[in-house]
């Protein structure tokens, strides 16, 4: 199965249609403006007077990656619809890179402006990561505009990297500290047809975790698994270490498995994928539990308040899942993509598209801080060794997520359809259409806000529509056969599907300590949460009823369906411990849920995904 | 009400009788031997050839405090029953201190042997803490033996401290970094009758948290509340910072409140006490939740696996509660003492009396580590930023707890009885007797293993027996009136009490996230737990039944009553999240509980205090 690129897909309505539009009309400019204000774009101006006063001293070591990732998104945007302002940003960076690239092909504003001698001396400095993003950007700009300027820069850079790492072996390290270049090189190979880039990608994948590499990693960082350098790729069967690095690497492993028909690598990828979805993923699809090292943690260790769930890790996981779907057309991969998109990733950006979460918690508990007496008023951070973010920020020092969000939603159409010989797959139900030669598939739906999908297929021999894993009952007005989670329909014409999509309570595996005695509300792929501002007071005192009695209604402010359920509020108690037959009073109440992706859009307030279930319920 | 000293009390049976005996016959020697092996006792030998080769380089900055705390315990032991070996230890240290004490009265082996110029320059170096323990030890030795040698040393030292801190103000700090000397000085006042020591204690209490003090604390450590220096004592209403320091300080506050009739201080003490028992204490009576700073944490933040609960903090809390009981004869203080003694403190020492827990967790989860793939086999600690202790240790570098355990149980009789004019109070039901002039009270019981107490009082006008807060029903074969939790009986003679003492399930306050959906088993004051070795497999898969169906039986190996209850084992599942109506199978099983204080005595195994309750139960 081959995914169909976003350029062949229009998304024109529903949650994703709104997100696509906001991304192209607000997010790209919001991120651009913040990047300009913070000097990130300075190195790309030819006119030095446009540069920030203190340039280049305030450059971050991988500022370039932020900028080119944004430009990658910008390219996707203009590929679908021209926009002079977005075009101008692309040109600025395109020309800046071409102007600043070294004779030898090297490009990295920090090293070029600060200390050339530091090049390739420390793999934690993200040089190959930044190079990878430049390559992805170059491919995107080339595909959007047909201009080869950046693509040629990328090729020169990649040639130079091959020389340094393969031919001369003159770098002080063997493989990137932060993976990304591997999958980028595969894209460069596809864009140029030059197999040398694919081989370089394979070289980096193969070199990872060999004996020499492990020794180096121990010397450098002490923790090889934090950068997936603990074992050779083909011997890795669990998701380990920094989650963004990991999932970019697993994406490259899947790429190499596909390109070379490498079954050993494929097995590793499949096993790692199962390890993630069965033992290390939040109910929202978020990954990377632990803020220390931004990493995958112990299986089933999924704390709520301290959930890390970096937005970039969600995106990287979906990139991995997309590649797995191409290798093995099983709806479980598309299910995983759907879950992460609508929850873990969508929550990373505000509804207006201008503010971002780096971390996506499962709980915000402001009451905890309020209850404290803040005895050290002069040192407010004392009680909070790591201050949780309660609202989305416009920019952060390490601003990988905002441009990643931009490029992700600008190319979101690429996750919706696939083709396998004569068959067309519909993985995601985005309102809009797909065109592939004389084939056209139109999808009319408000899914997942609503539960019906009308598909009109023209000139298809076979259409395979995903029946989501969460769906226990559906109706489809055509004859179909099920195959790995897809309903396969012969011919073309109209297809109407209705998914049974009640609000349901979910429980977590018994090994997840944080969710014992708690349930989460889901409706279709959407995870719900409760915010204090809707529920009048302390969220911790609320208990949902297993009887639910759910009422679904449209909320204009959030432009989303909210759900009211039955529940209880427990009376406060001045006893810390009580016998089970002497419990405080529970008063029936209604509990107001909103979709998780809409939380923290109306001000700072407490939030819970996992709400307590009353004992005996 | 005035507590009756341990010297008037014999404990001859039951859990506490065994602990008393083991303490006097094993613990004191085990700790002595470890201290000798580690060079702690070296400075006290007159014969230099007896000193460890590398003396004095390997001295810890507060090794002296360990030694004199042990000798304090040794003195309590010989005060009750002579023992030549224990006497020898006392003499060794007594003579060593007298020999080594400076002309000016200063004593501290580290500073005297390493760098005299560092004296009184850094309050984090525990000089006043060590001085406090020396004073407590001196009072104990004096009271046990009548010898004034150490007492005179202590007085000279205290006089010198007053000169440095009050008269000359030549120290670089105002009050101790680790409180202890305040309560020690009150004891010195009682032993000598010299009010100057009481005034010095009050001086230190009063100086704490004034403006100058806060500024100094910020400069030194950044976090004034970590050493209770954030506010003046009379303005402190919540338990904050390092839990041992805090409770030693609150003990001194209570002492000063009592000695001076200071109602403002008394109010602060009462409010802090309530803050602890209602918001910051484990069900075992343990305090000091957070290992970072070994401190009191947010209210209701009571993690199980990461519970810190230092053994010394439990002891310090009980010292505070004992003083509160004297100030306000309310059984809630005696209840708190009982709870902490039988659970948080008793768990700090192995059944054989020779190994110790510094931290007392509420959960050990070895399965978590087993489930992990230990990808970095060469760096095993990687996944464990703070390695939990799974078994008691014979000694630790910072070995405050072992000698504290020794002195605590050697004087445990002092927690049992009180006297208020003609009334005798029985706070704790230890099998044995109390003699006060012509008054004798004999207590025959196996409480809390069993539920009956037979009291024989001679020559009492009135006896007040505590009806424990956990007890919902009791019978008493004499006429009585209730007063603040005590059944008050006129006259003397035999009194028989039977407490209704079923095994009961306890729940935690709804704000305690870690205990949601979980219950703890208690019987009387004893908290129970489950160990994997008794329950065949993964503890996390066990759910207790609210119907309990408890069967209590004697376990010879643990010399304690264990409890079997009804429960369920959940089937493993490869789904991380499931809908509430699609749950894995629960198979009925019996669950075997042991008293918390006996856990980790039969090898390394997983443990849970808070066991899951099955949904719907």
Query: Which candidate in A230, A293, A510 is best for mutational testing of the B interface (most B CBs within 10 A)?
Result: A510
For β-strands A526-531 and A542-544, DSSP reports them as unpaired
pLDDT digits (tens, 9 = 90+) for B424-453: 999 999 999 999 999 999 999 999 999 999
pLDDT above 70: percentage of residues in chain B: 95
Q: For residue A527, give the chain B residue with the closest CA.
A: B577
Report the distance separating Cα B430 and Cα B18, nearest Å. Answer: 11
At A239 the pLDDT is 96
Interchain proximity B382–A223, CB inside 8 Å: yes
Domain membership of residue A18 (yes or no) is: no
Q: What is the mean pLDDT of residues B388-404?
A: 84
Residue B378 domain flag: no
Count other Cβ atoms within 10 Å, centred on residue A44. Answer: 24
**Does residue B105 form part of some domain?**
yes
Nearest chain A Cα distance for residue B519, angstroms:
8
The pLDDT, as a whole number, for residue B260 is 98
Give the C-alpha separation, B88 to B448, whole Å.
Answer: 36
* CA nearest neighbour of B187 among B228, B229, B234, B154: B154
Q: How far is B279 from chain A (nearest CA, A)?
A: 6
Which of these three, A499, A533, A565, is where a domain ends?
A: A499
Residue B462 and residue B423 in contact, taking contact as beta carbons nearer than 8 Å: yes
State the pLDDT at residue B610: 98
Has the ipTM of the complex gone over 0.85? yes
From A297, which residue of chain B is nearest by alpha-carbon distance?
Answer: B383
Residues A506/A519, Cβ–Cβ less than 8 Å: yes
Residues 6+ apart with CB under 8 A from B510: A540, A541, A570, A573, A584, A612, B516
A453 and A583 in a common domain: no
Instruction: Check residue A386 and give its pLDDT.
Output: 56
Decide if B288 contacts B294 (C-beta within 8 A). Answer: yes
Indicate whether A15 belongs to any domain.
no
User: Cα separation of A349 and A73, whole Å?
Assistant: 15
> What's the CA gap between B338 and B323, in Å, rounded?
14
Q: What is the mean pLDDT of chain A?
A: 93
Mode of pairing for the β-strands spanning A452-458 and A439-445: antiparallel
Residue B181: predicted pLDDT: 98
My answer on whether A331 and A276 are in the same domain is yes
Residues A508 and A485 both lie in one domain? no
Among residues B359, B411, B393, B350, the alpha carbon closest in space to that of B27 is found at: B350
Q: Are residues A399 and A545 in the same domain?
A: no
Confidence of residue A377 (pLDDT cuts 50, 70, 90): very low
For residue A606, is pLDDT > 60?
Answer: yes
Residue B360 lies in a domain: no
Residue A281 has pLDDT above 80, yes or no: yes
Selection from B462, B363, B478, B482 nearest residue B418 by Cα: B462
> Which alpha helices (DSSP H) does A477-558 contain, by range?
532-535
- Average pLDDT on A333-345 reads 98
Q: Tell me what the mean pLDDT of segment B606-616 comes to.
A: 95
Closest CB to B238 among A292, A373, A512: A373
Tell me which chain A residues have a C-beta less than 8 angstroms from the C-beta of B613. 517, 615
Using the beta-carbon criterion (under 8 Å), do B238 and A298 form an inter-chain contact?
A: no
Query: Using an 8 Å Cβ cutoff, are B411 and B6 in contact?
Result: yes
- Residues of chain B neighbouring A299 (CB-CB closer than 8 A): 368, 371-372
**pLDDT band at residue A213 under the 50/70/90 scheme:** confident
Judged by CB atoms closer than 8 Å, whether chains meet at B376 and A224 is answered as yes
- Best probe of the A interface among B209, B368, B577, by most A CBs < 10 A, is B577
Q: Which of A224, A378, A508 sits opposite B576 (nearest CB)?
A: A508
Is the domain of A318 the same as that of A457?
no
DSSP B363-406: EE-HHHHHHS--S-TT-TTTT-SSPPP-S-BS--SS--HHHHHH
Q: Is residue B573 located within the same domain as residue B465? A: no
Taking one residue from A and the other from B, the number of pairs with CB-CB distance under 8 angstroms is 187
**Cα–Cα distance measured from residue A216 to residue A545, given in angstroms and rounded to the nearest whole number:** 54
Does the beta-carbon distance from B615 to A612 stay under 8 Å? no
| Cβ distance of B507 and A541 shorter than 8 Å | no
By CA distance, what is B369's nearest residue in A? A298
Min Cα separation A448/chain B (Å): 18
Kindly state whether residues B66 and B175 are assigned to the same domain. yes
Using the predicted structure, report yes or no on whether residue B378 has a pLDDT greater than 50.
no
pLDDT at B587: 97
B236 CB neighbours in chain A (<8 A) are 375
Angle ∠(A416,A418,A420) on CA atoms, nearest 5: 170
Q: Is the pLDDT of residue B213 over 90?
A: no
Nearest to B443 by CA among B463, B461, B462: B463
Task: Give the tokens for residue B429.
Answer: 């039901």
Considering only CA atoms, which of B94, B594, B38 is closest in space to residue B347? B594
| Residue A426 domain boundaries | 417-499
User: What residues in A contact B237, CB-CB < 8 Å?
Assistant: 373
Q: What average pLDDT score do residues B522-529 get?
A: 98
**A334-363 mean pLDDT:** 97
The chain B residue lying nearest A369, using CA atoms, is B298
Q: What is the pLDDT of residues A174-195, one digit of tens each?
A: 999 999 999 999 999 999 999 9
Residue B384 has pLDDT above 60, yes or no: no
Tell me, what DSSP letter sits at residue A356? B
Q: How much is the CA Rg of chain B, to the nearest whole Å? A: 25
Q: Give start and end residues of each alpha helix (H) in A302-390.
A: 311-327, 331-339, 366-371
For residue A429, what is the domain's CATH number?
Answer: 2.60.420
Q: Token pair for residue A270? A: 């499949």
> Residue A466 pLDDT more than 60?
yes
Quickly state the pLDDT bin for B383 (edges 50, 70, 90): very low
B504 CB neighbours in chain A (<8 A) are 579-581
The structure tokens listed for B8 are 């008037």
Chain A residues within 8 A of B512 when measuring between CB atoms: 576
Asked if B451 and B499 count as a contact pair (C-beta separation under 8 A), the reply is yes
pLDDT at B114: 84
Span A28-37, mean pLDDT? 94
Q: Do B433 and B574 fall within a single domain?
A: no
**Assigned domain for B45 exists:** yes
- Cβ-count burial of B390 within 10 angstroms (0-12 exposed, 13-18 middle, 19+ buried)? middle
Residues of chain A in contact with residue B520, where contact means CB-CB under 8 angstroms, are 577
Plot region of A329 (φ>0 → left; ψ -120 to 50 → alpha; else → beta): beta
Is residue A378 predicted with pLDDT exceeding 80? no
Q: Cα(A403)–Cα(B180) distance, rounded to whole angstroms?
A: 56
The pLDDT tens digits of the residues spanning A96-155 come to: 999 999 999 999 999 998 888 999 999 999 999 999 999 999 999 999 999 999 999 999
Nearest to B546 among A520, A580, A613 (CB): A580
At A528, is the secondary structure helix, strand, or coil?
strand
Confidence of residue A384 (pLDDT cuts 50, 70, 90): very low
For A294: left if phi > 0, alpha if psi spans -120 to 50, otherwise beta; the answer is left
Give the confidence band of B224 by pLDDT, cuts at 50, 70, 90. Answer: confident
Q: Do A375 and B540 touch (CB under 8 A)?
A: no
* pLDDT recorded at residue B133: 98
Which tops the pLDDT comparison, A92 or A226? A92
> What span, in angstroms and rounded, lies between the C-alpha atoms of B128 and B282?
30
CB contact under 8 Å between A376 and B508, yes or no, is: no
Q: What's the DSSP call for residue B138?
A: H
C-alpha B70/C-alpha B73 separation (Å) is 5
Residue B361 lies in a domain: no
Quick check: B344 pLDDT over 60? yes
CB spacing of A506 vs B546 below 8 angstroms? no
Closest Cα in chain B to A513: B514
Output DSSP code: residue B571. P
**Range with lowest mean pLDDT among B155-159, B195-199, B219-223:** B219-223
Question: What tokens appear for B86 in the block?
Answer: 């224990």
Q: Which letter does DSSP use for residue B349 in this model?
A: B
Q: DSSP letter at B228?
A: T
Q: Does position B115 have pLDDT exceeding 70, yes or no? A: yes
pLDDT tens readout for residues A409-429: 999 999 999 999 889 999 999
Find the residue in B nearest to A511 (Cα): B540
Between chains, do A616 and B617 touch, taking CB under 8 Å as contact? yes
Query: What would the mean pLDDT of A320-326 be, rounded to a whole number?
Result: 98
* Adjacent-strand bridge partners of A512: none
User: Chain B residues with CB inside 8 Å of A504's CB?
Assistant: 579-581
Query: Is the confidence at residue B492, as pLDDT, over 60?
Result: yes
Chain A residue at shortest CA distance from B502:
A579
Q: Which helix (H) or strand (E) holds A496?
A: strand A493-499
Contacts of B375 in chain A (CB under 8 A): 225, 230-231, 236, 238, 240
- 8 Å CB contact of A576 and B277: yes
Whether residue A223 and residue B376 make contact (CB cut-off 8 A), yes or no, is yes
In a domain, A374, yes or no: no
What's the sign of the alpha-carbon dihedral B509, B512, B516, B519?
negative
Indicate yes or no: CB of A507 within 8 angstroms of CB of B580. Answer: yes
Residue ending a domain, among B499, B532, B554, is B499
Nearest CA distance, A541 vs chain B (angstrom): 7
Q: Clarify whether residues A430 and A391 are in a common domain.
A: no
Question: Based on the domain organization, do B494 and B509 belong to the same domain?
Answer: no
Q: Which of B233, B306, B375 to probe by mutation at the A interface, max A CB count within 10 Å?
A: B375
Pick from B142, B175, B203: which residue ends a domain? B203
* Same domain? A451 vs A318: no
Least CB–CB distance from A225: residue in B222, B376, B574? B376
Tell me which of A38-42, A466-470, B12-16, B296-300 is least confident.
A38-42
Q: Give percent of chain B above pLDDT 90.
A: 85
What integer best gives the mean pLDDT of chain B? 93
> What pLDDT does residue B72 have?
98
Q: What pLDDT score was predicted for residue A206?
A: 97
A577/B375 CB distance under 8 A: no
Which of A281, A584, A613 comes nearest B615 by C-beta?
Answer: A613
pLDDT 10s digits, A91-106: 999 999 999 999 999 9
Cβ-count burial A291-321 (b if 16+ within 10 Å, e if not): bebbbbbbbbbbbbebbbbbbbbbbbbbbbb
Let me know: does A587 contact A579? Beta carbons within 8 Å.
no
Report how far residue A289's alpha carbon sits from residue A286's, in angstroms, rounded to the nearest whole number.
8
Residue B372 has pLDDT above 90, yes or no: no
Chain A hits for B519, Cβ within 8 Å: 580
Helices in A328-376 by DSSP H: which ranges? 331-339, 366-371
A383·B546 Cβ contact <8 A: no
- On whether both B451 and B593 belong to a single domain, the answer is no
How many domains, in total, are found in chain A? 4
Q: For an interface test with B, which of A300, A387, A516 has the most B Cβ atoms less than 10 Å from its Cβ?
A: A516
Nearest to A292 among B301, B385, B579 (CB): B385
């Amino acid at each position: 199965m081959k995914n169909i690129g976003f350029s062949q897909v229009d998304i024109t309505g529903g949650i994703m249609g709104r997100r696509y539009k906001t991304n192209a009309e607000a997010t790209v400019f919001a991120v651009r403006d913040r990047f300009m204000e913070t000097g990130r774009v300075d190195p790309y101006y030819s006119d030095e007077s446009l540069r920030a006063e203190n340039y280049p001293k305030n450059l971050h070591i991988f500022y370039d990656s932020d900028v080119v990732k944004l430009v990658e998104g910008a390219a996707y945007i203009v590929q679908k619809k021209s926009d002079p302002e977005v075009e101008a940003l692309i040109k600025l960076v395109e020309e800046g890179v071409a102007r600043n690239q070294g004779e030898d092909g090297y490009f990295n504003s920090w090293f070029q402006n600060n200390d050339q001698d530091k090049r390739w001396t420390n793999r934690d400095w993200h040089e190959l990561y930044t190079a990878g993003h430049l390559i992805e950007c170059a491919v995107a700009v080339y595909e959007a505009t047909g201009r080869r300027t950046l693509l040629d820069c990328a090729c020169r850079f990649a040639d130079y990297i091959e020389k340094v790492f393969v031919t001369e072996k003159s770098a002080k390290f063997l493989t990137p500290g932060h993976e990304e270049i591997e999958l980028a090189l595969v894209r460069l190979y596809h864009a140029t047809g030059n197999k040398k880039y694919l081989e370089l990608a394979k070289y980096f994948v193969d070199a990872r975790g060999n004996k020499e590499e492990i020794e180096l990693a121990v010397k450098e960082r002490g923790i090889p698994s934090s950068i997936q350098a603990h074992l050779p790729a083909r011997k890795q069967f669990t998701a380990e270490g920094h989650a963004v690095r990991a999932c970019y690497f697993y994406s490259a492993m899947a790429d190499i498995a596909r390109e070379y028909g490498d079954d050993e690598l494929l097995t590793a990828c499949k096993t790692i994928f199962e390890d993630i979805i069965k033992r290390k993923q939040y109910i929202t699809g978020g990954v990377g539990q632990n803020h220390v090292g931004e990493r995958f943690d112990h299986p089933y260790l999924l704390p709520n308040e301290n959930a890390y769930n970096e937005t970039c890790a969600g995106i990287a996981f979906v990139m991995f899942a997309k590649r797995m779907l191409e290798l093995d057309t099983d709806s479980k991969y598309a299910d995983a993509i759907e879950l992460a998109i609508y929850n873990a990733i969508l929550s990373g950006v505000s509804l207006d598209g201008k503010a971002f979460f780096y971390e996506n918690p499962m709980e915000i508990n402001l009451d905890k801080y309020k209850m404290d007496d803040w005895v050290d008023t002069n040192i407010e951070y004392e009680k909070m060794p790591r201050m949780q973010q309660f609202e989305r920020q416009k920019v952060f020092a390490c601003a990988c997520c905002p441009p990643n969000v931009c490029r992700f939603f600008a190319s979101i159409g690429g996750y919706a359809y696939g083709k396998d010989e004569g068959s067309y797959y519909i993985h995601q139900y985005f309102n809009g259409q797909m065109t592939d030669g004389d084939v056209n598939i139109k999808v009319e739906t408000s899914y997942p806000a609503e539960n019906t999908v009308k598909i009109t297929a023209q000139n298809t021999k076979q259409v395979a529509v995903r029946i989501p894993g969460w769906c226990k009952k559906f109706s489809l007005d055509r004859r179909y056969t099920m195959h790995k989670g897809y309903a396969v329909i012969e011919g073309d014409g109209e297809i109407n599907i209705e998914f049974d999509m009640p609000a349901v309570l979910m429980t977590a595996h018994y090994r997840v300590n944080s969710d014992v005695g708690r349930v989460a509300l889901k409706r279709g792929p959407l995870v719900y949460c409760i915010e204090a501002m809707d529920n009048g007071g302390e969220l911790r005192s609320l208990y949902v009823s297993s009887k639910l009695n759910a009422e679904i209604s449209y909320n204009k402010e959030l432009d989303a369906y909210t759900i009211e359920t039955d529940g209880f509020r427990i009376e406060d108690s001045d006893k810390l411990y009580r016998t089970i037959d002497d419990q405080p009073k529970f008063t029936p109440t209604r509990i107001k849920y909103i979709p998780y992706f809409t939380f923290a859009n109306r001000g700072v307030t407490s939030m819970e995904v996992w709400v307590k279930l009353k004992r005996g319920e």
